[in-house]
Every structure is written in structure tokens, then in C-alpha cells.
């Protein structure tokens, strides 16, 4: 008589173990799938992806700058750099390299970097506009031609912004040559949503208008190489150059996306 039959005759319930089907290597496929789809900190980046880009999968804001890792990385800002966060002004952003080699203020050179504060009180760097075609304007609040051209600049900016175009306005004076520039007031009065920087004393502006006449316009391509320097008028030829440069591809920068 079998052992199972004896147990049944004795009123003892027999328990037959049920085994789960495992992957050939003994691992659990369901568990692996769950791990691969886990976003522990809820920042819209999966843990396995955060491991690849070096952010903390258990901290939604790795660099503690007030912006979650997903919001930064997915819009091409560095979630591990506390000095780099999404622009208040919503200016165009492309994937950027860790560093950009600087040249001189000469046509054919990569423009030297500079850091200035815009009309929203945010500190911005020229080199973080890498991948965009950039126009650098030098203006003064007391200059009627500056006012006239600035009034027209917003339309040109907005019509090209989505292609990766930005105007950086360096305002070196206020209403008089001896007054402090007011980037916020200048932007409001001109209806400008592109970056406006106060540059009292023309510390940054000076090499951008060697002819010492304003308004002055310089054009940088997507690699921030100077293509035109210190043009004394934003005529059709200047905008044709902008459009030609916008037609060029955005430089390839390693920037993994989920």
C-alpha cells in the first residue's frame, strides 16, 4: 500500500508542494520586470536609467537645485549640476557637452564663455546655449536705433526660437551713458522674452563691439563659432545668415534618453 493511500486512510491531508516556474537560470522574470520598471523617487526616470546617467535613484532632486531630475534631464539640463536648471524665460536648450573649448573674439573662433544675470534674476552662461544659433546684441538704453531695433527683435526671435535660435541682449547703459542698465525694464518696455543682461561698464560687451557703435550684432553658429562680428545693423543679410545657420544640423552630443 502506498504511503499516500495510508495517509488518506488515516485522515491525514497530504500536501503536494507547488513550484513556481522560474527562468532557465533560476531567476524570477516577473521580479526582473518589476525592477526594470521601478522609479523609486518618482522623478519620471527609472532607477536603472538613473544608474546609467549618474543621478541618485532614491533622490528626486540629485543636485538639490529645486528641480527634479526628470524635468532637468529630459529638457537637456544637467540634473547633477546645482548651477544648471531650466530657464525661467523658457529659452531654447539643446544637449550640451560638459565643456566647450574657448577661442577669442575673432570670426572663426569659438566664442569665449561669459556669465551674466538676465531680466529674471537668473545667472546664465553663453556656453550653455551650445547647439543654438546665437545673436549677441550690444545695446544702450539711451540709443534710439537700439530701441527701434529691439522693438522688432521679438518677432524675429519668436519666429525662429523653435528651430534653436536665441538673442542675447547685452545692455551696457540705462537712459543715460552714466546710468545703470535696467534689463528687466528694458525687456518689459520692448516686449522682449529673449534674455536681456545688464552689463554696466560694458565689461562683457566691450569685445563684442570693437567699432564702439551701438546697436551691434554678432552671430554664432550652433557650435558657438563666431560667424559675424560687430555688424552695425540687423538688415536682411544678417537674418539670411541666421537662417542659413539654422538649416545646419544640431551638433551631436551624447545625451541618453529613456
Exposure b/e, 22-40, CB count within 10 A at least 16 = b: eeeeeeeeeeeeeeeeebe
Residue 209: how many other CB atoms lie within 10 Å: 24
- For residue 79, what are the domain limits? 29-86
pLDDT digits (tens, 9 = 90+) for 4-52: 333 334 444 444 333 333 444 555 555 555 557 899 999 999 999 999 9
DSSP 68-113: -HHHHHTTT--TT-TT----TT--------S------SSTTSBPPP
Q: Are residues 223 and 150 in the same domain?
A: yes
Residue 191: how many other CB atoms lie within 10 Å: 11
Contact assessment for residue 83 and residue 72, using Cβ atoms and an 8 Å cutoff? no
Q: Are residues 76 and 121 in the same domain?
A: no
Q: Are residues 132 and 203 in the same domain?
A: yes
Residue 12: how many other CB atoms lie within 10 Å: 10
Q: How far is CA 199 from CA 33, 118, 158, in A?
A: 54, 10, 24
* Percent of the chain clearing pLDDT 70 (strictly above): 86
Q: Are residues 61 and 131 in the same domain?
A: no
Q: pTM to 2 decimals?
A: 0.84
Judge whether 252 lies within some domain. no
Before 215, cis peptide (omega within 30)?
yes
Judge whether 82 lies within some domain. yes
Confidence of residue 171 (pLDDT cuts 50, 70, 90): very high
Which of 86, 108, 124 is the last residue in one of the domains?
86
Backbone angles phi, psi at 240, to 5 degrees: -65, -40
Judge whether 91 lies within some domain. no
- Dihedral sign (CA 79, 83, 88, 89): negative
pLDDT digits (tens, 9 = 90+) for 86-126: 999 999 999 999 999 999 999 999 999 999 999 999 999 99
Q: 144-160 vs 236-246: helix axis angle to the nearest 10?
A: 30
CATH number for 182: 3.40.30.10
Which of 58, 86, 114 is the last residue in one of the domains?
86
Q: Are residues 119 and 153 in the same domain?
A: yes
Judge whether 14 lies within some domain. no
Q: Are residues 145 and 47 in the same domain?
A: no
Contact assessment for residue 242 and residue 165, using Cβ atoms and an 8 Å cutoff? yes
> Which residues on adjacent β-strands are paired with residue 118?
197
Q: What pLDDT is recorded for position 34?
A: 57
Q: Are residues 148 and 216 in the same domain?
A: yes
Which of 86, 114, 130 is the last residue in one of the domains?
86
**How many distinct structural domains can be found in the chain?**
2
Q: Are residues 39 and 81 in the same domain?
A: yes
Judge whether 257 lies within some domain. no
> Among 123, 64, 114, which Cα is nearest to 56's?
64
Amino acid at each position: 500500500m502506498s504511503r499516500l493511500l495510508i495517509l488518506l486512510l488515516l485522515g491525514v491531508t497530504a500536501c503536494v508542494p507547488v513550484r513556481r516556474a522560474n527562468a532557465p537560470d533560476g531567476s524570477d522574470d516577473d521580479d526582473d520586470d518589476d525592477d526594470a520598471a521601478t522609479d523609486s523617487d518618482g522623478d519620471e526616470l527609472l532607477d536603472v536609467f538613473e544608474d546609467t546617467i549618474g543621478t541618485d535613484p532614491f533622490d528626486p532632486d540629485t543636485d538639490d537645485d529645486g528641480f527634479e531630475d526628470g524635468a532637468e534631464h529630459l529638457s537637456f539640463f544637467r540634473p547633477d549640476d546645482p548651477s544648471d536648471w531650466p530657464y525661467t524665460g523658457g529659452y531654447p536648450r539643446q544637449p550640451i557637452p560638459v565643456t566647450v573649448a574657448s577661442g577669442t573674439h575673432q570670426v572663426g573662433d569659438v566664442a569665449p564663455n561669459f556669465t551674466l544675470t538676465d531680466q529674471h534674476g537668473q545667472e546664465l552662461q553663453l556656453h550653455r546655449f551650445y547647439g543654438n544659433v546665437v545673436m549677441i546684441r550690444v545695446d544702450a538704453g539711451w540709443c534710439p536705433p537700439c530701441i527701434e531695433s529691439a522693438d522688432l527683435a521679438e518677432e524675429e526671435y519668436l519666429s525662429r526660437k523653435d528651430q534653436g535660435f536665441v538673442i542675447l541682449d547685452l545692455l551696457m547703459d540705462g537712459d543715460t551713458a552714466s546710468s545703470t542698465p535696467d534689463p528687466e525694464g528694458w525687456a518689459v518696455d520692448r516686449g522682449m522674452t529673449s534674455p536681456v543682461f545688464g552689463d554696466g561698464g560694458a565689461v562683457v560687451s566691450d569685445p563684442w563691439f570693437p567699432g564702439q557703435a551701438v546697436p551691434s550684432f554678432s552671430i554664432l553658429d550652433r557650435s558657438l563659432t563666431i560667424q559675424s562680428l560687430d555688424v552695425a545693423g540687423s538688415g536682411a543679410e544678417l537674418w539670411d545668415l541666421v537662417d542659413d545657420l539654422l538649416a545646419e544640423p544640431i551638433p551631436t552630443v551624447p545625451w541618453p534618453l529613456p
